Amino acid sequence: AQTVTQSQPEMSVQEAETVTLSCTYDTSESNYYLFWYKQPPSRQMILVIRQEAYKQQNATENRFSVNFQKAAKSFSLKISDSQLGDTAMYFCAFMKHWGGGSNYKLTFGKGTLLTVNP
Amino acid sequence: DADVTQTPRNRITKTGKRIMLECSQTKGHDRMYWYRQDPGLGLQLIYYSFDVKDINKGEISDGYSVSRQAQAKFSLSLESAIPNQTALYFCATSDSRTDNEQFFGPGTRLTVL
């Protein structure tokens, strides 16, 4: 079974600064996807960024980027120029590519609560 | 209009009551999922359905049942609610043909007294 570990229950950052959230995972699979989801106080789950394991290049989405280290099974999220609206719970998630019927399930970490201070 | 909707958004019920949470989607996706979120935990998969005739148990299916009434509708039932089922419940959908991303509904907060 896959496990996802987020070792930082809470973090804070000043507005406009950069913050990095950590995530490690354990799997024997070679073909999989990794995600960061954001859950603001509205409780909606919002996809922030996605990384395919077969791609060596780190994914980026505007102010959000990842540092994907496949050998180390590490997938950290960097938020640049932090904004007050980035305040949320952030979840790292793993999705195994089952092959065959290409069926997927998400396994989530416990989350990191990020607070952006003015 | 939201692509994935859940009803009700909030519900308070008593121990032993039967309750149904409903999920509808207009995205045309074939796959649907029910997750549960507890404080301090990530989301855990309860049930998932890859099409109308394909329903599977997830990690924590005990005490729950589901029904896929149509491709667009997936309901979660608690036959006899108990207090430790108090949680936030999310429905999600995905499209097997095009992408691996799951799209989440707004969640239902359920309290069992």
- Tell me which chain A residue has its CA closest to the CA of residue B92: A45
- Whether the pLDDT of residue A103 is over 60: the answer is no
- Nearest by CB: B107 against A33, A43, A110: A43
| Contact (Cβ atoms closer than 8 angstroms) between residue A24 and residue A7 | yes
pLDDT at B1: 55
- Nearest by CB: B41 against A33, A105, A110: A110
Considering only CB atoms, which chain B residues are within 8 Å of A9? 40
CA A49 to chain centre: 7
Question: Quick one: average pLDDT of A55-75?
Answer: 94
pLDDT at A101: 46
pLDDT at A99: 53
Question: Quick one: average pLDDT of A36-48?
Answer: 93
- Whether the pLDDT of residue A116 is over 90: the answer is yes
Question: Quick one: average pLDDT of A12-32?
Answer: 94
Of chain A, the percentage scoring pLDDT greater than 90 comes to: 73
Which residues of chain B fall short of a pLDDT of 70?
Answer: 1-2, 98-99
With the C-alpha atoms ordered A83, A85, A89, A95, is the resulting torsion angle positive or negative?
Answer: negative
pLDDT at A104: 66
Which positions 65-94 of A are in contact with B (Cβ < 8 Å)?
A: 91, 93
E strands, B8-98, where? 10-13, 19-25, 31-37, 43-51, 54-57, 65-70, 73-78, 87-94
In terms of pLDDT, which residue wins out, A114 or B96? A114
pLDDT at A29: 83
pLDDT at B95: 87
pLDDT at B2: 67
Considering only CB atoms, which chain A residues are within 8 Å of B34? none
- Whether the pLDDT of residue A54 is over 90: the answer is no
